A and B are shown apart, each in its own frame.
Chain A
Amino acid sequence: MMDLRTQFCECFVMPHDHDHPHSHLPSDPALRVRALETLLTDKGLVDPAALDAIIDLYQNKIGPQNGAQVVAKMWCDVNFHRQMIEDPMPRLQEMGLYGRQGEHMVFVENTDEVHNMVVCTLCSCYPWPLLGIPPGWYKSDAYRARAVREPRAVLSEFGVTLPEGKKVRVWDSTAEVRYLVVPQRPAGTQGFSEDDLAALVTRDSMIGTGLAQAPSTLESGA
């Protein structure tokens, strides 16, 4: 496992035109975090190995591929689909897609009539077990304010144009409830395996700022 702490001294390397006799000084916030970790470790409140494990998990292991598997299974399995809409937690626990920030999931499904979109106006609440760590734009003031105020304008900036008359419903995540959008299954995917379908389910399509990809995108290797 990569030890990020030892990288602290190497990752702020800047081009310079003179020799530094000493290590490069990390930024002010990086030093404050260093101080926090040292103090909390000394007090026995955190364990550096546990911190590394948390970072490794979110950096390398958990991501939108988890949510994509669930969506693909919902498209293929009517029974599973019903369970996920009615009460997803038992099945998610079985699948190991349960835990921090995913304790109370609600799946909201796109239809011909409604397009769903998720935001957190408070901070950046997001279903970590299914999507990993949110992208920068999800955490930005611009998205958090505008997703509610002018969702169609935001969608068009993401390249999503909805048919006239299709409703947009915006869901505001909280520390208690996290939403995941179930995009519509693309046309021309009859007979696709769950894995093939999962490859069409993008992160943005599960936030609602995108649609599932058409199968042609996959064939062209994009």
Chain B
Amino acid sequence: MNWCGDKPEPAFSEPWHAQVFAITVALNEAGHFEWSSWAARFGATLKAHGLAKELDGGEDYFNAWLETLESFLAETGMAEMGALQHLKTAWTEAYLSTPHGQPVRLAPEA
């Protein structure tokens, strides 16, 4: 097994890994949840995902992180699944309708 040893690696390999990490840390610091309850939920998601395949600690780790955060925020009412789906569609349309090289922005009504 290759553990990579002390080879330097970026803290986050994808920008969205960093973003979902930062959102979680910010919400925790603002007092919306305790880190221990976050860790318990996240651990449960990792365990569930790990039943199907061995997680490598990279992309699948942050997929589990995102899924945990989404369900946590849906449960607490901080971010409803319907609203998130609507915004995801709006962002998708924004990317598809913005010429390459220009900043992508949400349409004002989104």
Contacts and interface: CB of A to CB of B under 8 A. Distances in A.
A79 interface: no
Given A36-B20, A136-B56, A31 B103 contact: no
A166 to B, nearest CB: 20
B73 A22 contact: no
A140 B19 contact: no
Contacts of B109: none
Contact of B26 (A47, A58, A125, A158): A47
User: Number of contact residues on B: which range applies?
Assistant: 35 or more
B84 interface: yes
Interface string B45-70: 01000100011111001110010011
A31 to B, nearest CB: 5
B39 A139 contact: no
Given A9-B104, A38-B106, A59-B11, A204 B95 contact: no
Contacts of B50: 141
A22 B99 contact: yes
A141 B106 CA distance: 38
B76 to A, nearest CB: 11
Contacts of A50: 26
- Chain B's interface: helix, strand, loop or mixed, by majority? helix
A192 to B, nearest CB: 20
Contacts of A45: 27, 30, 32, 78
Interface string A128-155: 0000110111111111000000000000
User: Number of contact residues on A: which range applies?
Assistant: 35 or more
B61 A139 contact: yes
A141 B54 CA distance: 6
Contacts of B43: 122-123
Contact of B4 (A20, A24, A137): A137
Contacts of B58: 136, 139
A40 B23 contact: yes
Interface in A39-60: 39-40, 43, 45-47, 50-52, 54-55, 58-59
7 contacts: A9-B95, A34-B91, A54-B22, A59-B18, A123-B43, A135-B9, A136-B57
Interface of A: 4-9, 11, 20-27, 29-40, 43, 45-47, 50-52, 54-55, 58-59, 63, 100-101, 122-125, 132-133, 135-143, 157-159, 174-176, 202-204, 209-210
Interface of B: 1, 3-6, 9-16, 18-23, 25-30, 32, 35-36, 38-40, 42-43, 46, 50, 54-58, 61-63, 66, 69-70, 73, 78-79, 83-85, 87-88, 90-92, 95-104, 106
